[in-house]
Structure 1
Amino acid sequence: MISIKYLLLLLLFTLSLDAQKTLEVDLRKQRIYAKENGRVVFTAAVSSGKRTHRTPSGTFKILGKNRFHRSNIYPKPRGGAKMPYMQRLTHGGIAIHQGRLPGYPASHGCIRVSKRTAQKLWRWTRIGTKVTLHNGKNVKRKNKKYHKRKKHIKKRRYITKRRSIKKRKYSQKRRAYKKLRYFKKSGYKKGVYVWVRR
């Protein structure tokens, strides 16, 4: 027969494991990060609330889960919109659920995720899992060396472009400078910068 001590230890161990799991949503980058012991386990794209229905920032907990949930707010007629794999964060209707991802904030305040991500999060989280929603202000910028190098090369490329313009005639200079205003760096691939119109 299993002793009560062993059962209590097992319960405490499972509770500690759940406490180490957290979700972090960057509303600026439109990304969700699943963390375990402070380490990112997986990340995925999201679609948060649009301008008229902004997603609130702060720290929340998963209050409830419903696999086949329907909204009682949007749309009002015909029983509400489908919200599969819903994980409630507030009593006011903010939740994480499966939905369309257009690549920009488009929801009525909820955090939309893809079907695959919704299923993964459904299995990964439990009621009481901590969820942090923020605008990315307190998050450190990654790859500082890469960003510095990128900035330096961009500046150097712009200077060389201006120098080549200075050698031309006045009328050509005017046209070239005007053209230069409408150009910007589009990407960086194997040390080559491509300039395209805005």
Structure 2
Amino acid sequence: MHQIRRWLLLCLLALCAACSRPELPRLPPDAVVLAFGDSLTYGTGATREESYPMVLAGLAGRRVVNDGAPGETSAQGRARLAASLDEYRPALVVLCLGGNDFLQRLPLAETRANLGAMLAELRRRNVPVLLVGVPQPGLLLEAAPLYAELADAFEVPLEHEALARILARNALKSDPVHPNAAGYRELAQAIHTSLSRHGAL
């Protein structure tokens, strides 16, 4: 009886976890995915064809627009997001910003506010989003906690492990803060897995 109760409890917990996971709408074959961010999106450290958006396009079988701007802060991204949404009319956005804020030691509250404003704009336009967590520089690389906080607040899916894992391995980096071609491919694969897990693919 004890084993049955334990099994039922585990099933219930798994069901609750699945129910609470943010889901994304299925992307039709002709959907446009907007990869919006800074140099990590642009593909600095590799060729444009080796950037994660271009690799993701091949994995997902969808058009993925590389809208990465090297050196961009979250404030600058916030300022240009609306124009990009108007131009590309994406069915989904992959948002990866904040690294330059950390490198410039900008206040975390400002980064959180800027990313929150972008998520609010995407919600207002009813555009689904996958948020990508960027690690803060330090001995232990892990995505800044503000990404999980924002993902919870806006109920959007979060990929928070891949970049930290990639940037912790010299073999996957072109310099201390950028992946190389192999690193971008691993990032694209992680994002593809996350999109699939949340129902977009």
TM class, shorter-length = under 0.3
Q: Which has the higher helix share?
A: 2
Where relative contact order (Cα < 8 A, 6+ residues apart) is larger, the structure is 2
TM-score (norm 1): 0.22
TM-score (norm 2): 0.21
Q: Which protein has the larger Cα radius of gyration, Structure 1 or Structure 2?
A: 1
Q: Which has the higher strand share?
A: 1
